[in-house]
C-alpha cells in the first residue's frame, strides 16, 4: 500500500508542476461547466444543456442510482481503483470555441512528441489544446455528405437520441445495460460525446469512419458513448482515437461502446489510444453479432495509469463470428488490465482472440479472458492466443483466462506464452549499430508484427512510431 | 597507428575469473589476421570484449579503431565506430525480418532524419544475397529464427557485406558449416578483402584458412598470443596439434 500512496503523491506532484506551467489550468471561460462532484443535479444539468428528451434524463438518473449502489470491483480488480475520487471530478465541461492556452505554454517535450509523430502543425495546436477547433470541418462535411447519400447516419449521441430515437432507442443501453458494471453505470449517468452510427441494409461503407474528424469538431469526451448499428448485410469500419498523446485535464475516462451487427453485417472497430500517465481509462465495449454477422475489435492500449478494457462479442445468431485483436503496452507506472470476452449463444459460431502485451520496466500487464460456450450448442469454436513480452526483470504479467466450454461438439484452443527480450538479443542488435532504445523497439515491433499486419495501414505505421517513442523513453 | 585495429596489454575477466592476460595484437587495415587456439583459451572473449559486451570487465589495456579508443563504449557506439562482430551464436529476433533488420542498422549509421534510399538498398541487398547463394525469400524471414547453422552464418556474412565495417571480427564462423557453405561464406569474405577493411578471423580449425588465406596467423594460449607467423603457421599447427603449442610455446 505504501507504494500506492507514493505513486499517488508522485502523480499529484507531476500534475501540480504541469498546472503551474499552464498545462492543466481550468480557465473561467468555459461556456458550460457542471461543477465538481457527482449528484442528481449534475445529471439534470447535463441533460438540460443537451436538450434531451425526458426518457434519456430518466435513464441517466436510474443509472446514477445503479452506480451509487454498486461496489467498486476491487474484489477482483486492482485496489488502485480506490484512488479515484469521484467527488473531485468535473463531469461535464464544454469549452465553447475559446482556446485555453497559447502554443508557447505547451511544454517542449509535448511539442517534440508531435514533431516525432509527424503531426501537421494545425493538428498539433488542436491536440495541445491551443486551438479549440481543429480545421477538420471541411473533410468532415464532405464525408458526411457522401454518407447521407447512402442513408448512413453519423452523429453524436445527443443528436442520435433526439433526432433518430426510433433507430437508436431500441439498442441504446441494451448491449451494455447500465447495471453491467459500476463504470458502465457511471457513463450511462453522465455520458457526452462519442458517435452514433446507423448503416442501412446492404450498404457497404467504403472508407473507414473516423471519430477523429467528427469528435475533433467538438470536444473530446471524458464519458464517450458510442452506438453503431449495422443493418442486415451492411459493412462498416470505425476508427477511434489517434496515436497522438492526449494531454488531458481529466483523470477519469470511462466510455461505453455498443455494437450491433444484424444478420450478415460486418463491423470492425479499431482503437489506438495513447493516454497520458495520470489517466484512469475504464471502458466497456461489447458487440452483438446476429446470424452470419461478424464483429471484430482491434484494440491498442498504450499509456494511462490504469486501463481496464475487455472488448466482447455476444454471438447470438448462427454462424456469427467474433474476433478481438489486442495490443497493450504497459510502461513504468502503468497497468494495462485488458482482455476479451466471447459469449457463444448460437450453433456454428466461431471466435478468435489474439492478445499481446508488453511490459516495460515496472509496467504491469494483465490479461483477462472469458470464453463461454454452453452445453446446448453444437459446432462452436474458439481460438485464444495470449502472448506476453517482458522487457526486464521488474516487469510483471498475469493471465486470468476463464474458459467454460461444455458440450461434446464444441472445441476450444488456448495458447499462452511469456517471452523476454534477452540481454543477448539486445547486445546482438546493438552490435549492428542500433542504440539500446532502437534495439528494444525493434524487438517489440517484431513481437507485435503479425498482429499489426491486420491493422489498417495508417494505424500500423503510427503504432510502430508510437512504440519507438515509448521504448526510447524507457531506457536510461 | 591510425589505420589499424590495435589491442594493447589487454586484461579482461568474467566475474572474478581472468581470461585475457596482457593480450596485444595489431591488425592493419587491408590485412587478414587469424587467431587460432584451443577451446577455452579466450578467443571468443576477445571478440566480445572488443564489441563491448556487458558481461566482461576490462581491468586494463587499450583497444583502438583507427586511433579511436573503443573500450568502455556502448556496443552500438563501437559498432558505428566501424567494428563488426560476426557471432558464433547469433541471436534470434522473432518478428523482425532480415531486410528490416539490416535496414535499421544502416539507418542507425545515417544522420538523424536523412532520407533512406530504399531502392538502392534492395538492389544491393539482392546482389549480395545472390553472391551468398541465399534465396530472395530470406529477406522476409525473421532474423535467425529457425535457421540452420549454415543459414545463420550466411546471414552474418550478409550483414557484414551490407554494413561494410572498417574491421570485422569473425568468431568461429566455420563452426556448423558444411563444405559448400564454407566455400560460399569464404567467397563473401574474400570479396570484401581490400585496402579499406581489416579482418580478425577467430577459428579453432585450419580448414577455414584454406579458403580465407590469412596474411598473419597468431596462436592464442591462456589469454594471450604465444606465437605468430605467416599462413604456413596454420598448417604447421594442424600437423603438430595443440599439444605442440602446450609443450613448446606455452611457457614463451
| Global model pTM greater than 0.90 | no
- State the Cα torsion A135-A139-A144-A150 to the nearest 10°: -170
Give the start-to-end residue ranges of the domains of chain A. Answer: 421-476
d(CA B107, CA B103): 6
Query: What does the mean pLDDT of chain A come to?
Result: 81
Q: Name the helix (H) or strand (E) containing A411.
A: strand A411-420
What architecture does CATH give domain B4-94+165-249? 3-Layer(aba) Sandwich (3.40)
- DSSP code per residue over A213-262: HHHHTS---SS-EEEEEE-TT-EEEEEE--SSPB--S-SEE--EEEEEE-
Q: To the nearest whole angstrom, how far is the Cα of A124 from the nearest Cα of chain B?
A: 20
Sequence-ordered strand ranges (E) for A46-184: 93-94, 153-155
**B94 CB near a chain A CB, below 8 Å?**
yes
Q: Answer whether B104 sits within 8 Å of A428, measured CB to CB.
A: no
Q: Which residues contact B138 (CB under 8 A, 6 or more apart)?
A: B98, B129, B151, B155
Query: How many residues are recorded in chain B?
Result: 252
Q: Coil, helix or strand for A131?
A: coil
Q: Name the helix (H) or strand (E) containing A60.
A: helix A54-69
Q: Name the helix (H) or strand (E) containing B58.
A: strand B56-65
* Lookup result for grid cell 532520407: B115
Cα dist from B182 to A413, B124, B127, B159, whole Å: 44, 22, 19, 16
Q: Which residue of A has its CA nearest to B142?
A: A446
**Nearest of A354, A368, A295, A302 to residue A325 by alpha carbon:** A354
Angle at B70 between CA B65 and CA B72, to 5 degrees: 170
Mutate to test the interface with B, among A417, A428, A451 (most CBs of B within 10 A): A428
ipTM of the complex: 0.96
Angle at A309 between CA A305 and CA A310, to 5 degrees: 155
Q: Are strands A196-199 and A225-230 parallel, antiparallel or unpaired?
A: parallel
Of B51, B95, B109, the CB nearest to A450: B95
**A461 CB near a chain B CB, below 8 Å?**
no
Q: Which residues of B touch A428 (CB under 8 A)?
A: 87, 90-91, 93
Q: Answer whether A427 sits within 8 Å of B75, measured CB to CB.
A: yes
> For chain A, how far is it from start to end, CA to CA, in angstroms?
27
**Nearest of B4, B75, B5, B37 to residue B203 by alpha carbon:** B37
Q: Which residues of A touch B159 (CB under 8 A)?
A: 432
Q: What is the pLDDT of residue A130?
A: 43
Q: Which three cell numbers stand for residue A110?
A: 509535448
Q: What is the pLDDT of residue A137?
A: 45
d(CA A50, CA A60): 13
**Nearest of A476, A466, A417 to residue A444 by alpha carbon:** A466
Q: Which residues of B touch A437 (CB under 8 A)?
A: none
Give the start-to-end residue ranges of the domains of chain B. Answer: 4-94+165-249
Q: Are strands B56-65 and B4-14 parallel, antiparallel or unpaired?
A: antiparallel
Looking at chain B from residue 35 to 64, which residues have their Cβ under 8 Å from any Cβ of chain A?
Answer: 51-54
Q: Which three cell numbers stand for residue A183?
A: 463504470
* Lookup result for grid cell 486470468: A400
Q: Which residues of B touch A118 (CB under 8 A)?
A: none
**B140 CB near a chain A CB, below 8 Å?**
no
Q: Which residue of B has its CA nearest to A115?
A: B113
d(CA B98, CA A315): 41
Q: Which residues of B touch A430 (CB under 8 A)?
A: 52, 74-76, 79
Q: Answer whether A425 sits within 8 Å of B75, measured CB to CB.
A: no
Q: To the nearest whole angstrom, how far is the Cα of B148 from the nearest Cα of chain A?
A: 18
Q: Determine the distance from the C-alpha atom of residue A14 to the mean position of all C-alpha atoms in its chain, rounded to a whole number.
A: 24
Q: Which residue of B has its CA nearest to A444?
A: B95
Q: Answer whether B76 sits within 8 Å of A424, measured CB to CB.
A: no
**Nearest of A195, A199, A205 to residue A227 by alpha carbon:** A195
Angle at A427 between CA A443 and CA B69, to 5 degrees: 140
Q: Coil, helix or strand for A322?
A: strand
| pLDDT tier at B113, thresholds 50, 70, 90 | confident
d(CA B43, CA B202): 7
Q: Which residues of B touch A447 (CB under 8 A)?
A: 94-95
Contact B30, B195 (CB under 8 A): yes
pLDDT in tens, A166-219: 999 999 999 999 999 999 999 999 998 888 999 999 999 988 887 654 443 334
Cα dist from A172 to A84, A160, A169, A234, whole Å: 27, 10, 5, 19
Q: Which residue of B has its CA nearest to A116?
A: B113
Q: Answer whether B105 sits within 8 Å of A423, measured CB to CB.
A: no
User: CA-based diameter of chain B, in Å?
Assistant: 58
**Nearest of A354, A370, A298, A287 to residue A321 by alpha carbon:** A287
Cα dist from B203 to B13, B37, B212, whole Å: 21, 7, 11
d(CA B136, CA B92): 19
pLDDT truncated to tens, each residue of chain A (476 aa)?
334 344 444 333 333 323 223 233 333 345 667 778 899 999 999 999 888 999 999 999 999 999 999 999 999 999 999 999 888 887 886 654 333 456 666 666 666 666 665 555 555 555 554 443 343 444 555 667 778 899 999 888 888 999 999 999 999 999 999 999 999 999 999 998 888 999 999 999 988 887 654 443 334 458 889 999 999 999 999 988 655 555 555 578 899 999 999 999 999 999 888 787 888 999 999 999 999 999 999 999 988 899 999 999 999 999 999 999 999 999 888 999 999 999 999 999 999 999 999 998 888 999 999 999 999 999 999 999 999 999 877 778 888 888 888 887 889 898 888 988 999 999 999 999 999 989 999 999 999 988 888 877 767 777 787 788 778 766 64
Sign of the CA dihedral with B29 first, then B30, B32, and B33 last: negative
Contact A347, A377 (CB under 8 A): yes
Q: Answer whether A425 sits within 8 Å of B91, measured CB to CB.
A: yes
Q: Which three cell numbers stand for residue A349?
A: 459460431
Amino acid at each position: 500500500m505504501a507504494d500506492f500512496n507514493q505513486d499517488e503523491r508522485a502523480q499529484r506532484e507531476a500534475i501540480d508542476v504541469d498546472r503551474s506551467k499552464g498545462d492543466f489550468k481550468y480557465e473561467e471561460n468555459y461556456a458550460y461547466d457542471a461543477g465538481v462532484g457527482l449528484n442528481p443535479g449534475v445529471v439534470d444539468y447535463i441533460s438540460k444543456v443537451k436538450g434531451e428528451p425526458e426518457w434519456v434524463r430518466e435513464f441517466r438518473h436510474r443509472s446514477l442510482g445503479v452506480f451509487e449502489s454498486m461496489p467498486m470491483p476491487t474484489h477482483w480488480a486492482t485496489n488502485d481503483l480506490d484512488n479515484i475520487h469521484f467527488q473531485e471530478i468535473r463531469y461535464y465541461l464544454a469549452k465553447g470555441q475559446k482556446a485555453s492556452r497559447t502554443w508557447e505554454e505547451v511544454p517542449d517535450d509535448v511539442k517534440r512528441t508531435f514533431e516525432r509523430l509527424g503531426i501537421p502543425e494545425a493538428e498539433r495546436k488542436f491536440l495541445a489544446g491551443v486551438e479549440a477547433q481543429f480545421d477538420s470541418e471541411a473533410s468532415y462535411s464532405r464525408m458526411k455528405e457522401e454518407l447521407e447519400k447512402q442513408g448512413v447516419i453519423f452523429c453524436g449521441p445527443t443528436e442520435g437520441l433526439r433526432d433518430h430515437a426510433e433507430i437508436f432507442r431500441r439498442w441504446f443501453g441494451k448491449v451494455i445495460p447500465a447495471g453491467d458494471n459500476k463504470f458502465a453505470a457511471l457513463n450511462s449517468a453522465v455520458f457526452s460525446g462519442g458517435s452514433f452510427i446507423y448503416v442501412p441494409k446492404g450498404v457497404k461503407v467504403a472508407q473507414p469512419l473516423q471519430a477523429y474528424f467528427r469528435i475533433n469538431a467538438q470536444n473530446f469526451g471524458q464519458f464517450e458513448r458510442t452506438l453503431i448499428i449495422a443493418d442486415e448485410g451492411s459493412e462498416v469500419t470505425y476508427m477511434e482515437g489517434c496515436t497522438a498523446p492526449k494531454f488531458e485535464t481529466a483523470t477519469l475516462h470511462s466510455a461505453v461502446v455498443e455494437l450491433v451487427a444484424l444478420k450478415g453485417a460486418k463491423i470492425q472497430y479499431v482503437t489506438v489510444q495513447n493516454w497520458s500517465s495520470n489517466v484512469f481509462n475504464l471502458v466497456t465495449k461489447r458487440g452483438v453479432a446476429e446470424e452470419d454477422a461478424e464483429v471484430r475489435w482491434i484494440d491498442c492500449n498504450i499509456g494511462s495509469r490504469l486501463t481496464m478494457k475487455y472488448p466482447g462479442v455476444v454471438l447470438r445468431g448462427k454462424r456469427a463470428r467474433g474476433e478481438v485483436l489486442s495490443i497493450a503496452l504497459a510502461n513504468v507506472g502503468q497497468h494495462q488490465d485488458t482482455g476479451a470476452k466471447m459469449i457463444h449463444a448460437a450453433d456454428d459460431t466461431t471466435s478468435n482472440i489474439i492478445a499481446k502485451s508488453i511490459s516495460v520496466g515496472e509496467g504491469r500487464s494483465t490479461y483477462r479472458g472469458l470464453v463461454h460456450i454452453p452445453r446446448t450448442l453444437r459446432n462452436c469454436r474458439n481460438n485464444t492466443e495470449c502472448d506476453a513480452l517482458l522487457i526486464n526483470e521488474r516487469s510483471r504479467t498475469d493471465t486470468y483466462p476463464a474458459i467454460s466450454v461444455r458440450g461434446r461438439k464444441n472445441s476450444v484452443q488456448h495458447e499462452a506464452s511469456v517471452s523476454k527480450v534477452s540481454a543477448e538479443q539486445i547486445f546482438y542488435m546493438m552490435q549492428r549499430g542500433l542504440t539500446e532504445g532502437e534495439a528494444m523497439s525493434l524487438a517489440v515491433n517484431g513481437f507485435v508484427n503479425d498482429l499489426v499486419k491486420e491493422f489498417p495501414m495508417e494505424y500500423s505505421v503510427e503504432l510502430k512510431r508510437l512504440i519507438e517513442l515509448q521504448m526510447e523513453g524507457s531506457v536510461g | 597507428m591510425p589505420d589499424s585495429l590495435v589491442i594493447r596489454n589487454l586484461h579482461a575477466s568474467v566475474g572474478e575469473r581472468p581470461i585475457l592476460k596482457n593480450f596485444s595484437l595489431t591488425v592493419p587495415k587491408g590485412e587478414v589476421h587469424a587467431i587460432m587456439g584451443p577451446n577455452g583459451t579466450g578467443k571468443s572473449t576477445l571478440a566480445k570484449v572488443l564489441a563491448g559486451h556487458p558481461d566482461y570487465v576490462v581491468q586494463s589495456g587499450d583497444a583502438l579503431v583507427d586511433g579511436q579508443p573503443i573500450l568502455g563504449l556502448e556496443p552500438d557506439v563501437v559498432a558505428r565506430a566501424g567494428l563488426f562482430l560476426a557471432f558464433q551464436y547469433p541471436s534470434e529476433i522473432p518478428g523482425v525480418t532480415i531486410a528490416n533488420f539490416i535496414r535499421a542498422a544502416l539507418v542507425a549509421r545515417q544522420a538523424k532524419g536523412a532520407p533512406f534510399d530504399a531502392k538502392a538498398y534492395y538492389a544491393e541487398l539482392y546482389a549480395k544475397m545472390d553472391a551468398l547463394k541465399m534465396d530472395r525469400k530470406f529477406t522476409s524471414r525473421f532474423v535467425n529464427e529457425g535457421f540452420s547453422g549454415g543459414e545463420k552464418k550466411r546471414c552474418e556474412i550478409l550483414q557484414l557485406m551490407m554494413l561494410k565495417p572498417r574491421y570485422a571480427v569473425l568468431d568461429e564462423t566455420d563452426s556448423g558449416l558444411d563444405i559448400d557453405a564454407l566455400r560460399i561464406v569464404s567467397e563473401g569474405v574474400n570479396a570484401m578483402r581490400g585496402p579499406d577493411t581489416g579482418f580478425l578471423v577467430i577459428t579453432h580449425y585450419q580448414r577455414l584458412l584454406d579458403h580465407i588465406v590469412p596474411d598473419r596467423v597468431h596462436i592464442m594460449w591462456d589469454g594471450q598470443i604465444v606465437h605468430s607467423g605467416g599462413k604456413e603457421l596454420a598448417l604447421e599447427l594442424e600437423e603438430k596439434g595443440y599439444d605442440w603449442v602446450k609443450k613448446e610455446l606455452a611457457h614463451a
